Structure 1
Amino acid sequence: MENNKIKKEINDIVNDNLKALEQLFPSAVKDGQLDIKALKEELGNFEEVGIERYELNWAGKQNAKKIVQQGIGNKTLKFVEKDSKNADTTENIYIEGDNLEVLKLLRQNYYNSIKMIYIDPPYNTGNDFVYNDIFKKGNDESDKEEGYVTETGERLEKNTKSNNSRFHTNWLNMMYPRLKLARDLLTDDGVIFISIDDNEQANLKRLCDEIFGEKNFRNSILVRRRVKSLNIQFADKGLKSFNVGTENILVYSKSESFLFKMIEQVKEEIREGYWAGFWSGADRPTMRYEILGFTPSVGQWRWGKEKAEEAVRNYINWKNNFSEIPFEIYAEKNSNLKFIKRDINGKGQNGGVQYWINANNAQMRTSNWTDIEVSQIHKYFDIPFDNPKNIKLIQEIIKSSEEEKDVIILDFFSGSATTAHAVMQLNSEDNGNRKYIMVQLPESTDEKSEAFKAGYKNIAEIGKERIRRAGEKIKQEIEEYNSNPKLGEELKKVPDIGFKVFKVDDTNIKWYDLENFNEDGQYSFDDPDSLDFVLGSNDIDIIYEIMLRQNDVLLSEKIEFLTDIGNRTYLYAGLYLICLETEITEEMVEKLASLEPLPIKFVFRDSAFKDNISLKDETFRKLRSLIERNSGESKVSYRVEFI
């Protein structure tokens, strides 16, 4: 029987990369090993030994690269039903945990599946982010309570300028593997937006050039920072610096196939903004004059009066000399007046067109978004949070990045969950079906903060509560509108305002091979759950952990309990049969093989076959035979696997 054990490892990034390289350069991979010399020859071998190259280097870069390729170990995502909302129907996901671990856990399921990523990472101002210090270990309970040590013993260190000579290095080591993994999740036409200020803007730009490719840099969007204070620190002979009034959003696509969607900017909002009062639109009084008895009250003519009068004369001349006129003239006041301007040869085909430019209230956006503030002062739903991102900013980003409205949007520095709020709000306005994945480290709130005093012990609690309240407000507004709709307008649909909550945790499954069991009998089939699973695990946790090891299976899919087959048999996403029964019978196998539609994968417990290897082999072959018979002409690859 073939080896159908489910692998413990969620990702095999090194092997995946090697296979991808082999597809491009077959001669560079020999016997499963990379031939560096052959690869250089494929690429032209222009590099000479000892020649320096232009690249961003820092202490620890090689280790940061290794971290990307390291497995996730004995980690999984556990479903938290009590914190979730509308879990049976929602397609939205909220995950608590270190985003590096989360990105690794999501990579296999969401590879090439995320259309847009927005992140607002720590700006590295001197005390604004914590990171896992792998060189220090601590198990002090007080440290855990204060949020300096995770439940798994990893010490969270503040990255401060005063006591850390590796200030920029720590930030780069934190960002590199996360961005590298994020790129894997993006669709081929996907895009990432990254908010940043001047502290690390230059380093981030070079880092993204390396990870995403310099040719995939799309824009650096300028946004307005909220002015907190007008005080300026003075040096002995003048200013140390001007007040920093802006921040940047770096935009990188995964490939050249990404295209921005054009969005309009309302002029009144521009004029109200301090930064864009210089704007001048298409509404010049000097370009409004009479033609054929019509003088526009707003807008302007494209040409000056003298040129326009020449066009009229040319048109009249054309009309008097030709019976058929290949061009139209519109003289109605509410339309675009057009006039033919004949060329020198009098043919008319190369003539220009004079028309009236209607005055409007919008213009297309540029990379200058200084009419929008980065953050907002007010509290959302009385939930205290310092400097939450402006929901309008995130909405504009989303609208600029996608034509379709049925995409997945990821934010793995989600903070107060502004991105989730923006997604729900946009869906309510344009009837979209966007889904979000929010990821947030449950970093403790400061004991002196308003959030802590209000009962929010960590940032993740703030984010989840905001999503709940924002969703309910959106639902209430739609229901109020639908109770008294305007004449001729359709009723609005309440968008998906629910979310499933997961937390990074230790594995639920004891990953070992039955063939390597100790012959002394220390493992007993009398208690199969203690044999296969970690104490305290439940079937739902186990199902999600198995699903994390599949390809392209979303965590938002539904779990169906198949009571007609057994007490612990489930169907995930309608395609994956997870049988956690402690004993397999021939009758059960017959039922499983006759399911319609036929699942594409069947997963059983090794222990369910006890120590009867021949029974397992016979059942496996019989099930495969029944599956193939039932599948008919199907080209789907069906599998039977074991844990």
Structure 2
Amino acid sequence: MIEKLKMQTPNITEQNMEQIAKLFPNVMTETQDKNGEVQKAIDFDLLKQSLSSVLVDDADERYRLDWPGKKAALLKANTPVTKTLRPCRDDSVNFDSTENVYIEGDNFEVLKILQESYLGKIKMIYIDPPYNTGKDFIYKDNFAAKKADYEEELGTTDEEENKLFRNTDTNGRFHSDWLSMMYERLVVARDLLTEDGVIFISIDDNEVHNLRGVCDEVFGEENFLIHFSWRTDGNFDNQAKFKKCHEYILSYAKDEQYFLAPPVIDPSVPNDSKLYKNEIINTIVKNGPKNPVSSVVLPKGFPANIDETIIEKRVTQWPHYSQDAVIKNGKLFEEVEIKSGWSSKSLLIDFIKNKYKVVTDIKGQSSRFVISPTGAIEVIKERSTIQSHVISSLENLGGPQKAGAEIKSLEVVFDDYPKPVELVQYLCKMIYRSDDIILDFFSGSATTAHAVMQLNAEDNGNRKFIMVQLPEATDEKSEAYKAGYKNIAEIGKERIRRAGTKIVEDNQNKIGIDKLDIGFRVYKTGSSNMEEVYYHPEQLSQDNLFSLASNIKEERTPDDLLTQVILDLGLELNLPIEERTMHSNNVFIVQTNALVACFDDNINIKIIDEVAQLKPFKVVFKDGSFSNSKDRINLEERFKRLSPETLITVI
């Protein structure tokens, strides 16, 4: 059966209702919507009673952070959007090969768009949102009020009718508007984090107390990690009673028990300091009579701390092997199965999967494994005497002045207050893996992208970044505008281009620098590629039936359609894309065979067999691409024979 793609973000409210219905079927009821249609609903009084061991009354007093608009913000966070992303190859660098992404658009909409493709895949989020000082801009989504009602608000409206407004303290909702803006974004962003993921949020005195309350609710108090105090390098208010020289960074884990203790220490301590003494702990795996028997296959090449020997197969002693273990050149000559009473089997398997490189356990201890002369598996744990001692006061990492100088050195103009590269690098070092995805959805001048590329150059890592920035117009009187930058997104993209080039130049003699990913794919938010009738076919009347030659908007390209399909199917934006010509048709192949798509108006039925030979997981065609129903039936039959596991979909 050919399925039809929904081409919109998931309805989180419906998903949550399904989960509640599974747990508490008694709270499900039916109501009528504004059109009189019957729909499923939840009896919230019954739900509250189901979650309480005492009689629930109607008292409103409770411990929580509340503000006008909070419920509306949560509703918005759970509501699907039909926006999509459109690729912009002209603004990109190495579009076909890069794994980095830069997205222009309202970050709330972008987070919703990325919700399926990056669910549980982002290891670290760093954001530097508006501090709500009364001078910076606050997002005001879907702005539709009359101009006369907001004459005091000085802002800009983008092509999608979203507006930024300057949130002054004369606004009666001064704190509420900021809280709603942050709340709805953090609710969506949390779902993008990996199980062991972490978020860092820069803030100052104006809203740090409220932000802590919001984050406690969104991420859970138990997942609070640390409240950094970051010493800046100046910009003090000389008229203030106290000269403030600190800002803050709040940090929360997705799930604190899975977040490894960071291998980062005081940045002011030199790397060659005597404080970096390592404590080596050798543990010989021995049989414990109360431990369950564990069995694992040690592959050929597994390391040993002996040169050449044969450890004879053991039957009665622990550990024992399924065959003789032959050691040559300090490694297993061929694979063997070992059985023992050791309970840390999972860590050993992680070590093998990590190609015998050091792995880190839940306590932050680094471990490696070798075969000892006795034939046992020896666990070598390494603990720095001050490893995992991350201080709450961050100094010697620069501030706005240093950050401004960094941008200026690239001959890029930015009039705001960016963060220094070294600060963001420090945060990035708190995650162990060097191939994770790092997201910044208030990217500004793209400091985070710069930091990721610089760090990859230093340690040969392969971290990927996703930057999101609203194309907020620059002030016509600003230096940035005079330099030709009409919006902040243009500044960010140019900084990445120049920073990448400089990093390669500065490291031209370093081995592997030619493989450093300094490219990025640019995408811009826009309305759906599909006509309204695609989402509401029941509204199609006989009068306009023949005026709609296609349910796809005329100006949309195959690249546009492919991007929306990739997002709709939950695939990542940085996957490799190959274009092929098959029997005069243009065919897209995403990540070898994850997805094959063709959006030509007239498809040569001969391409079906060629596509099926690729054994794709999913194929997508335009609904109107086939000249008759016979071809569609033939399409299904050919795939059933040649690639029965392939999911066939149409738009």
TM-score relative to the length of structure 2 = 0.74
1:185 is displaced (CA, Å) by: 0.7
Match of 1:119 in 2: 127
**Structure (1/2) with the larger strand percentage:** 2
**Contact 1:267-1:361 at 8 Å conserved across structures:** no
The code of the aligned residue for 2:158 comes to T
User: Within 1, Cα distance between the matches of 2:194 and 2:501?
Assistant: 31
Q: 1:600 aligns with which of 600, 609, 617?
A: 617
Matches within 5 A, 1:109-188: 109-132=117-140, 134=142, 136-137=144-145, 148-162=156-170, 164-188=171-195
SS of the counterpart of 1:14? helix
Q: For residues 606 and 40 of structure 1, do their structure 2 counterparts lie closer, same or farther at Cα, with a shift above 3 Å needed?
A: same
Match of 1:378 in 2: 405
SS of the counterpart of 1:463? helix
2:569 aligned with 1:568: no
Q: For residues 539 and 362 of structure 1, do their structure 2 counterparts lie closer, same or farther at Cα, with a shift above 3 Å needed?
A: closer
Match of 1:436 in 2: 465
Q: For residues 96 and 267 of structure 1, do their structure 2 counterparts lie closer, same or farther at Cα, with a shift above 3 Å needed?
A: closer
Structure 1 unmatched runs, 5+: 234-240, 271-279, 284-358, 483-489, 632-636
1:493 is displaced (CA, Å) by: 4.8
Match of 1:14 in 2: 13
Count of residues in Structure 1 that have an aligned counterpart in Structure 2: 521
1:570 is displaced (CA, Å) by: 1.7
User: Within 2, Cα distance between the matches of 1:168 and 1:110?
Assistant: 31
1:76 is displaced (CA, Å) by: 1.4
User: Within 1, Cα distance between the matches of 2:387 and 2:573?
Assistant: 40
User: Within 2, Cα distance between the matches of 1:578 and 1:362?
Assistant: 49
Q: For residues 61 and 495 of structure 1, do their structure 2 counterparts lie closer, same or farther at Cα, with a shift above 3 Å needed?
A: same
1:505 is displaced (CA, Å) by: 1.3
SS of the counterpart of 2:555? coil
Matches within 5 A, 1:616-631: 618-627=633-642, 630=643
2:392 aligned with 1:367: yes
**Contact 2:225-2:252 at 8 Å conserved across structures:** yes
**Contact 2:265-2:386 at 8 Å conserved across structures:** no
Match of 1:498 in 2: 519
1:458 is displaced (CA, Å) by: 1.1
1:41 is displaced (CA, Å) by: 4.9
1:16 is displaced (CA, Å) by: 2.2
User: Within 2, Cα distance between the matches of 1:3 and 1:588?
Assistant: 17
**Contact 1:391-1:418 at 8 Å conserved across structures:** yes
Q: 1:108 aligns with which of 101, 116, 126?
A: 116
**Contact 1:223-1:373 at 8 Å conserved across structures:** no
Match of 2:423 in 1: 393
Match of 1:5 in 2: 4
Q: For residues 533 and 138 of structure 1, do their structure 2 counterparts lie closer, same or farther at Cα, with a shift above 3 Å needed?
A: farther
**Contact 2:230-2:395 at 8 Å conserved across structures:** yes
Deviates more, 1:49-58 or 1:504-513: 504-513
SS of the counterpart of 2:451? helix
Q: 1:226 aligns with which of 215, 228, 233?
A: 233
**Contact 2:231-2:393 at 8 Å conserved across structures:** no
User: Within 2, Cα distance between the matches of 1:113 and 1:16?
Assistant: 20
**Greater Rg over alpha carbons, structure:** 1
1:606 is displaced (CA, Å) by: 1.6
Matches within 5 A, 1:195-594: 195-229=202-236, 231-233=238-240, 241-256=241-256, 257-267=258-268, 364-375=389-400, 376=402, 377-380=404-407, 381-385=410-414, 386-400=416-430, 402-479=431-508, 481-482=509-510, 492-512=513-533, 518-519=541-542, 522-523=545-546, 531-551=550-570, 553-574=571-592, 575-593=594-612
**Contact 2:155-2:166 at 8 Å conserved across structures:** no
Matches within 5 A, 1:12-51: 12-22=11-21, 33-36=41-44, 39-46=47-54, 47-51=56-60
The code of the aligned residue for 2:169 comes to K
The code of the aligned residue for 1:388 comes to P
**Contact 2:144-2:161 at 8 Å conserved across structures:** no
Match of 2:348 in 1: none
**Contact 1:394-1:422 at 8 Å conserved across structures:** yes
User: Within 2, Cα distance between the matches of 1:18 and 1:566?
Assistant: 47
Structure 2 unmatched runs, 5+: 31-39, 277-383
User: Within 2, Cα distance between the matches of 1:208 and 1:23?
Assistant: 28
The code of the aligned residue for 1:68 comes to A
**Contact 1:620-1:640 at 8 Å conserved across structures:** no
User: Within 1, Cα distance between the matches of 2:461 and 2:22?
Assistant: 38
The code of the aligned residue for 1:571 comes to I
Match of 2:309 in 1: none
User: Within 2, Cα distance between the matches of 1:454 and 1:478?
Assistant: 29
**Contact 2:261-2:388 at 8 Å conserved across structures:** no
User: Within 2, Cα distance between the matches of 1:606 and 1:200?
Assistant: 51
Q: For residues 147 and 607 of structure 1, do their structure 2 counterparts lie closer, same or farther at Cα, with a shift above 3 Å needed?
A: farther
**Contact 2:115-2:192 at 8 Å conserved across structures:** yes
The code of the aligned residue for 2:405 comes to H
The code of the aligned residue for 2:162 comes to E
1:104 is displaced (CA, Å) by: 0.8
Paired-residue identity, %: 41
**Contact 1:589-1:619 at 8 Å conserved across structures:** no
SS of the counterpart of 2:15? helix
**Contact 1:138-1:149 at 8 Å conserved across structures:** no
